[in-house]
A and B are shown apart, each in its own frame.
Chain A
Amino acid sequence: MRRPATPSTFEAMRTGKGLGPLYPGEEPASERLAATSLSRDQQWQLYRYMRLNRGAEDRLSNLYRRGQLVGGAYSSRGQEATSVGSAYALEPQDILGPLIRNLGAQLVRGVEPRQTFALHMGKAVGANRAKDNLPPSDLSKNIIGPIAMLGALIPVVGGAVLAARMKGERRVGMTYIGDGGTSTGDFHEAMNLAAVLELPLVVIAEHNGYAYSTPTAQQMKVKDIALKAVGYGIAGETVDGNDVLAVYEACRRAVTRARNGGGPTLIEAKTFRMKGHAEHDDAGYVPAEVRAHWEARDPIARFERHLRERAFATDGDFEALGREIDGEIEAAVQFAMEAPLPAAEEAAEGVFEPLPGGARP
């Protein structure tokens, strides 16, 4: 699957031949996962994050259906390998800019599920006291929170790593975009700016086939989003987004390149959103054969087979992990249910940062 995006790939860009396994009948993804330098323990850690990601989101779906959430819920079911494998390639000092469908990346960075559940219930926890439905920026974890307008987060994470570089810090930034999001002006402006300023930035394009209901064919004329890197003069790579080890290895290469002054990379992870855009959307626009094609490549089941084949984990390990994760999630839900709602008057507070010394803003 790996293919550096260079001008020589123009033929592939034009014809779409030899491209990823996004649809049945195209080149199938290999069942075998990519070779990795990760240890057995690290692989188990990745697996645990993926299970926690899915477990938490399935529980959110369940709570949504029971009317126990405020607002919408956006599941990344099917994309866990991309979220988890990418963020796992960062060092603690690196800066992560997740989108709403990147709970897995947040978990890797130490966000606790109870914060997620409390936020979805509008509870007054965390720095923003539920003033916004998106996970807030948490600078203590080097996280810059999502922005709903797609593409808009890319220059923001770029600015953070620019600032870090000016301060002599060797931080790499990582942020996300979807296939539809690469159509925005902000994506273009930000990729070009990052290229020109040679920012240490890794942008993960999660190519899941649909932007809400719009298939990729109605979004762009290239089949590999990584080819867009050619236009910015930066490194680009397409990776099997349902292979957590492949995602990790590609991201690790990009992070290392960025840290060593090699500038930004656009990584395309071909994957599939197994649920709708949000819980209200049954994704009836996805053909049954496409869904079946991807369900057979479920990233968690596939990774589980890999771990079993190598005898990295036993039935007992998987069962114990399942119980542990269920317990963690139920404790998180309980915490969120019991957490207080914000006081109504808080709506009027915190618009401006007070001046030092307490002068009025």
Chain B
Amino acid sequence: MSETTNQPVTYLEAIRQGLWREMEEDSTVFLLGEDIAAFGGAFKVTAGMLDRFGPERVINTPIAESAMLGCALGAALWGMRPVVEMQFIDFLACGFDQLVNNAATQRYRAGTAVPMVVRGPAGGGVRGSAFHSQNPEGFYHRAPGLKVVAPATAEDAYGLIRAAVRDPNPVLYLEHKYLYRRIKGVLPTSGGLVPIGQGRVARPGRDLSVVTWGAMVHTALDAAGRLAAEEGIEAEVLDLRTIKPMDDELIFASAKKTGRVLVVSEEPRTGSVAGEVAARVAEEVFSWLDAPVARLTCLDSPVPFSPPLEDFYLPNVDKLCAKALQLCRY
């Protein structure tokens, strides 16, 4: 099924419908990936697409992330809009050179547009262990020429995949696999594009700003609910939606209003996007702050496997509330 209705659909189905819509509207959009054709992808994001769009536009590839990404770069230079699926986003490291060194720098090096999307499941909480759970935004947000988006809701998953396909630059689209079938949303019957580079206020508040993205938006909203009920603290939750280019204005306006900023991210702490958010806030709105910028991140370790280990590794509502109280009592 491809048509949007007013029935709620999962985050995964929203990605599928957004892609489907772009495939319908633009015959230059095509898909490359492992097991994406008849099998419909490891998570079924491309289910049904082979039948509708044919093997010319839904292309199964050998296990070759680097060649797949290089191929997408060449096709993008030649006027197509390739969308490459990484079966797990961890595997993007196998094609790092093609994406970071080659595709992302192509515009700067030669003045040529590279409209391509790389998408795939990121994130932990599903006991996927070190090779199937990473959030790689820290590796990629610093790559000049690359945009990075990470939707937290079904609506944004739909709107951002469509915007990513239409963007004339390489876009890394991070799907959080924990959210795939756990959240739902009603998709718009028309429009619904979410501009890349714009965050949103997921919950307004006056006492502190919680800046986050991806699955952590839901953790932050749960924590904000508890903080309001138990402590009378009104946390404002910002969902960045796009990691790069970052919506500085949204972050700074919120920071000026609340005077307290907690950045929450599901990444190892060192070199994280959370560090970048903290640095921007410290540089630009220091004099409005009532407390140092704080970060809640994962450990500086690989993503561990066994449940108590992974639970200890990940941020959660308890940790977030504790950190928020600390900030508010500073």
**A144 with B79, Cβ < 8 A, contacts A351-B145, A353-B168 known:** no
Contact assessment for A149 and B101 in the assembled complex, using a CB-CB cutoff below 8 Å? yes
Residues of the B chain whose Cβ atoms lie less than 8 Å from the Cβ of A134: 109
A34 to chain B, nearest CB (A): 32
Nearest A-chain residue to B115, judged by Cβ? A353
The answer to whether the Cβ of A290 comes within 8 Å of any Cβ in the partner chain is no
Cα A131 to Cα B111 with chains together (Å) = 10
Nearest B-chain residue to A349, judged by Cβ? B108
A147 to chain B, nearest CB (A): 6
The answer to whether the Cβ of B197 comes within 8 Å of any Cβ in the partner chain is yes
Interface residues of B in 85-126 (CB under 8 A from A): 97-98, 101-102, 105-115
**A158 with B66, Cβ < 8 A, contacts A163-B78, A361-B245 known:** no
Cα A12 to Cα B195 with chains together (Å) = 59
B317 to chain A, nearest CB (A): 35
Contact assessment for A352 and B145 in the assembled complex, using a CB-CB cutoff below 8 Å? yes
Contact assessment for B62 and A159 in the assembled complex, using a CB-CB cutoff below 8 Å? no
Select which of B30, B68, B97, B169 is within 8 A of A361 by beta carbon: B169
The answer to whether the Cβ of B4 comes within 8 Å of any Cβ in the partner chain is no
Please classify how large the interface on chain B is, using the bins under 10, 10 to 19, 20 to 34, 35 or more: 35 or more
The answer to whether the Cβ of B75 comes within 8 Å of any Cβ in the partner chain is yes
Nearest B-chain residue to A167, judged by Cβ? B79
Select which of A155, A161, A197, A353 is within 8 A of B113 by beta carbon: A353
Residues of the B chain whose Cβ atoms lie less than 8 Å from the Cβ of A296: none
Cα A145 to Cα B77 with chains together (Å) = 11
What per-residue 1/0 map shows which CB atoms of B228-246 lie under 8 Å from chain A?
A: 0000000000000000010
Contact assessment for A159 and B74 in the assembled complex, using a CB-CB cutoff below 8 Å? yes
The answer to whether the Cβ of A196 comes within 8 Å of any Cβ in the partner chain is yes
The answer to whether the Cβ of B276 comes within 8 Å of any Cβ in the partner chain is no
Select which of B72, B113, B115 is within 8 A of A159 by beta carbon: B72
B104 to chain A, nearest CB (A): 9
Nearest B-chain residue to A145, judged by Cβ? B110
A327 to chain B, nearest CB (A): 30
The answer to whether the Cβ of B253 comes within 8 Å of any Cβ in the partner chain is no
Interface-located stretch among A70-78, A187-195, A240-248 = A187-195
Cα A106 to Cα B66 with chains together (Å) = 26
Cα A328 to Cα B122 with chains together (Å) = 56
Residues of the A chain whose Cβ atoms lie less than 8 Å from the Cβ of B67: 154-155, 158, 186, 189-190, 192-193
Residues of the B chain whose Cβ atoms lie less than 8 Å from the Cβ of A152: 66, 70, 97-98, 101-102
**A166 with B30, Cβ < 8 A, contacts A157-B74, A160-B75, A189-B64 known:** yes
Cα A192 to Cα B147 with chains together (Å) = 30
Contact assessment for B77 and A353 in the assembled complex, using a CB-CB cutoff below 8 Å? no
What per-residue 1/0 map shows which CB atoms of A169-206 lie under 8 Å from chain B?
A: 00000000000000001100110110011000000000
Contact assessment for A154 and B112 in the assembled complex, using a CB-CB cutoff below 8 Å? no
Cα A158 to Cα B66 with chains together (Å) = 12
Cα A185 to Cα B65 with chains together (Å) = 11
The answer to whether the Cβ of A217 comes within 8 Å of any Cβ in the partner chain is no
**A159 with B71, Cβ < 8 A, contacts A167-B79, A192-B62, A355-B167 known:** yes
The answer to whether the Cβ of B59 comes within 8 Å of any Cβ in the partner chain is yes
Cα A154 to Cα B66 with chains together (Å) = 11
**A163 with B74, Cβ < 8 A, contacts A156-B102, A355-B168 known:** yes
**A352 with B107, Cβ < 8 A, contacts A152-B70, A152-B102, A359-B195 known:** yes
Cα A186 to Cα B197 with chains together (Å) = 33
Contact assessment for A131 and B108 in the assembled complex, using a CB-CB cutoff below 8 Å? yes
**A145 with B109, Cβ < 8 A, contacts A162-B71, A196-B62 known:** yes
**A132 with B109, Cβ < 8 A, contacts A159-B73, A166-B56, A185-B66 known:** yes
A335 to chain B, nearest CB (A): 20
Residues of the B chain whose Cβ atoms lie less than 8 Å from the Cβ of A95: 78
The answer to whether the Cβ of B61 comes within 8 Å of any Cβ in the partner chain is yes
The answer to whether the Cβ of A344 comes within 8 Å of any Cβ in the partner chain is no
**A132 with B110, Cβ < 8 A, contacts A155-B67, A159-B75, A361-B169 known:** yes
Cα A127 to Cα B110 with chains together (Å) = 6
**A160 with B108, Cβ < 8 A, contacts A155-B70, A193-B62, A196-B62 known:** no
Select which of B61, B75, B144 is within 8 A of A351 by beta carbon: B144
Residues of the B chain whose Cβ atoms lie less than 8 Å from the Cβ of A127: 110-112
The answer to whether the Cβ of B82 comes within 8 Å of any Cβ in the partner chain is yes
Residues of the A chain whose Cβ atoms lie less than 8 Å from the Cβ of B72: 159
B174 to chain A, nearest CB (A): 18
Contact assessment for B73 and A351 in the assembled complex, using a CB-CB cutoff below 8 Å? no
Residues of the B chain whose Cβ atoms lie less than 8 Å from the Cβ of A350: 107-108, 111
Contact assessment for B109 and A136 in the assembled complex, using a CB-CB cutoff below 8 Å? yes
Nearest A-chain residue to B116, judged by Cβ? A159
The answer to whether the Cβ of B80 comes within 8 Å of any Cβ in the partner chain is yes
What per-residue 1/0 map shows which CB atoms of A114-141 lie under 8 Å from chain B?
A: 0000000000000111011010111100
The answer to whether the Cβ of A67 comes within 8 Å of any Cβ in the partner chain is no
Cα A196 to Cα B57 with chains together (Å) = 15
Contact assessment for A139 and B112 in the assembled complex, using a CB-CB cutoff below 8 Å? yes
Cα A356 to Cα B111 with chains together (Å) = 15
Nearest B-chain residue to A136, judged by Cβ? B110
The answer to whether the Cβ of A211 comes within 8 Å of any Cβ in the partner chain is no
B243 to chain A, nearest CB (A): 14
B171 to chain A, nearest CB (A): 11
The answer to whether the Cβ of A310 comes within 8 Å of any Cβ in the partner chain is no
Nearest A-chain residue to B94, judged by Cβ? A185
Cα A162 to Cα B72 with chains together (Å) = 9
Contact assessment for A137 and B64 in the assembled complex, using a CB-CB cutoff below 8 Å? no
Interface residues of B in 133-172 (CB under 8 A from A): 144-145, 147, 167-169
Select which of B66, B80, B114 is within 8 A of A155 by beta carbon: B66
Nearest B-chain residue to A162, judged by Cβ? B75
Residues of the B chain whose Cβ atoms lie less than 8 Å from the Cβ of A353: 107, 113-115, 168-169
Given A163-B79, A167-B79, list of 14 further CB < 8 A pairs? Answer: A131-B109, A144-B74, A155-B74, A155-B98, A156-B73, A156-B74, A158-B70, A160-B77, A166-B56, A167-B78, A167-B80, A186-B70, A192-B64, A196-B62
Task: Show 11 residue pairs from A and B whose CB-CB distance is below 8 angstroms, ordered by the A residue.
Answer: A128-B110, A145-B110, A152-B97, A155-B71, A158-B74, A160-B74, A160-B75, A166-B75, A353-B107, A353-B113, A361-B245
* 7 nearest A-B pairs in the assembled complex, by CB-CB distance: A159-B74, A155-B70, A163-B78, A189-B67, A159-B71, A136-B110, A189-B64
